[in-house]
Amino acid sequence: MSTGPAARVPTTVDEVAAGLRSARTATFERAVAAAVGLGAEGDRVLAELDDLRGWRAVTVTAALGDVDGPHGGQVLRRRVAARGPGTSDVRWAALLALTKRREDGVDTVLADALDDPDRVVREYALIGLAAVGDDRCWDDVLRRLSATLSRTRTTVRGDDLSPVITALAYLLRHAHDDRARVEVVAGLLRRRLDRLDEGERQWLDAHWPAVTSGAASALPDTTAMHESVLRDPLLSRAGAR
């Protein structure tokens, strides 16, 4: 039984721009994927869609993380700064996209978002810091991790980048060979091992078994910890530029 001709994928900038304005969901989604394939031109076309709302705005925001160019970064910063009902999804998507683009100044955006009133935005800021952030938030992240592990946790994130894992990856990446910093984190974990969920415990067993086994402290493999964050699908970049 014939299913009809396959839908045509847009290839030119004009075709992509028209598809991004289509009311048809399938056409819009094909155009987003095609825009990513256009590289810097796709960055421009996606950045021009600053008037979208709802799930389409979130989709385009996420796609800006998969291209590089001179236009998308400014748009993403504006979306992180948005406030009001219904902005949470587009704000965290913008943080994630900025993290993937690794543009100059992303550290400041992520550090500011760590104090955001929105819990989900704070969690994505921490993911970004674990992936690409500098060490300016070390003390703040340590305090937040201590607070997280000091209370009963009734919800679990459900993926490989829980707030505990991202906090540990960030803290230990910036501990370098600083034995004092390493010991502070190790001591906190040993006191609160019972507060880790199964996935967090497995991650720690894989990357810092000295802490979970009670053996003498050893410097963790911070490179492997960092790579485990960067490999997460949330931080992968789609398409070829």
pLDDT in tens, 194-215: 999 989 999 999 999 988 887 6
Residue 5 has pLDDT above 70, yes or no: no
Q: What is the pLDDT of residues 111-151, one digit of tens each?
A: 999 999 999 999 999 999 999 999 999 999 999 999 999 98
Q: In whole angstroms, what is the distance from residue 121 CA to residue 136 CA? A: 18
User: What percent of the chain shows pLDDT beyond 90?
Assistant: 75
Residue 158 has pLDDT above 70, yes or no: no
Residue 51 has pLDDT above 60, yes or no: yes
Cβ proximity of 100 and 235 under 8 Å: yes
Residue 230 has pLDDT above 70, yes or no: yes
Residue spans per domain, the chain: 134-241
Q: Which two tokens stand for residue 93?
A: 């998507």
Q: Which two tokens stand for residue 95?
A: 């943080």
Residue 171 has pLDDT above 60, yes or no: yes
Whole-number pLDDT of residue 25: 96
Whole-number pLDDT of residue 6: 56
When pLDDT is cut at 50, 70 and 90, the band that residue 240 belongs to is very low
Average pLDDT over residues 165-176: 93
When pLDDT is cut at 50, 70 and 90, the band that residue 217 belongs to is low
Cβ proximity of 128 and 106 under 8 Å: yes
Q: Which residue has the higher pLDDT, 100 or 4?
A: 100
Distances (CA, A) of 204 to 29, 83, 201: 38, 36, 5
Which residue, 9, 51, 1, 2, is CA-closest to 26? 9
Residue 10 has pLDDT above 60, yes or no: yes
Q: Which two tokens stand for residue 67?
A: 């291209």
Query: pTM to 2 decimals?
Result: 0.90
Q: In whole angstroms, what is the distance from residue 189 CA to residue 208 CA? A: 11
Residues 6+ apart with CB under 8 A from 137: 110, 111, 114, 129, 170
Q: In whole angstroms, what is the distance from residue 35 CA to residue 38 CA? A: 5
Residue 13 has pLDDT above 50, yes or no: yes
